[in-house]
Amino acid sequence: MYDFVLTFGQEVELVWRQRWSLMTVLYLGVRYLGILYAVTNMLTGVPTIPMTDAVSITVFLAMEWTNIVVFAMTGVIMMTRLYAMYQRSRTVLILLIVILLAATIVNGALNEIVNRHASGEVYILFGTYECAIDQGEGAQLLTLISWIFTIVWEVLALFLAVWIAVKRFRELRQSSRGGIIEDCFTVLIRTHVVYFASFAATVGIWLAMSLSTISADPYSLQNQIYGGVAQISSLVRMFVLGPRLILNVREHHAKPVDDSDAVTAITAIAFQERTHVSTSSSV
């Protein structure tokens, strides 16, 4: 909510008042799904709010599927950024579509398998309500497989972004007018690296929590701390840094630009217009 308030003025100017596009829909979807997700997550943890078993499992499943949907949406944002950075290369686009589609389908299928027989039970302890979700045996292994496919996608996206950025920086430094586009690539890379760093932190915390549950009580204080930090890290990655992948680029694009060729390239990268980008190495 702090980030939402902090960036609301930019959102109004750079999203609501601009021509609507796929990126606009993705931005608003990720941002406001995130707010709904966070509020629902907090309400389910308030011990004074009564919930039935059916309501608790329904809310849990809705949140699990929200993770899958948001992964696909942020994946499309990443794919669009990389597509622009690689000057609309069909080869790169096909590769990204195949990998993202495979990861999304596998994650969705595994989520359905894991939660097909999941059950929720509400306990009343000293006048407070505590909801426990049982996903059954093998859930941890299937979740690990899901994480592997997600990691493959994130690592591939980071590698492609860093590769083209290094290549472009070398080419632009040889050009007298490359500074503006170089700045735009800097924004793209910085936001991408920050997003990936948050993802790596989430994976690290989740692995530490998974290893800890093997040798310790899953409800121990240590694992509860791991779970809380993992939740916060995941929320920040998906619903704070995810929308900023679009917002920061649009903010950079809104700055005055004098070079007309640079305007064309940055416009495409800003995900606002379907402008043709030259495929020459000097762009």
* Rounded-to-integer distance, Cα 248 and Cα 244, Å: 5
Per-residue pLDDT at 217: 66
For residue 241, which amino acid is it?
A: L
* Rounded-to-integer distance, Cα 173 and Cα 136, Å: 57
For residue 77, which amino acid is it?
A: I
Structural domain boundaries in the chain: 2-269
Report CA dihedral (229, 232, 237, 238) to the nearest 10 degrees.
Answer: 130
Domain 2-269 has CATH 1.20.1070: yes
- 156, two tokens: 């591939």
In this predicted structure, the answer to whether residue 178 has a pLDDT above a threshold of 80 is: no
* Rounded-to-integer distance, Cα 37 and Cα 79, Å: 24
Per-residue pLDDT at 11: 92
Quick: pLDDT tens for 59-94: 888 888 999 999 999 999 999 989 988 888 999 999
User: Which one, of 263, 241, 266, 262, lies nearest residue 81 by Cα?
Assistant: 266
Higher per-residue pLDDT: 226 or 198: 198
Lowest pLDDT segment from 5-9, 77-81, 205-209, 266-270: 266-270
- In terms of pTM, does the model score above 0.75? yes
Give the mean pLDDT of 168-179.
Answer: 66
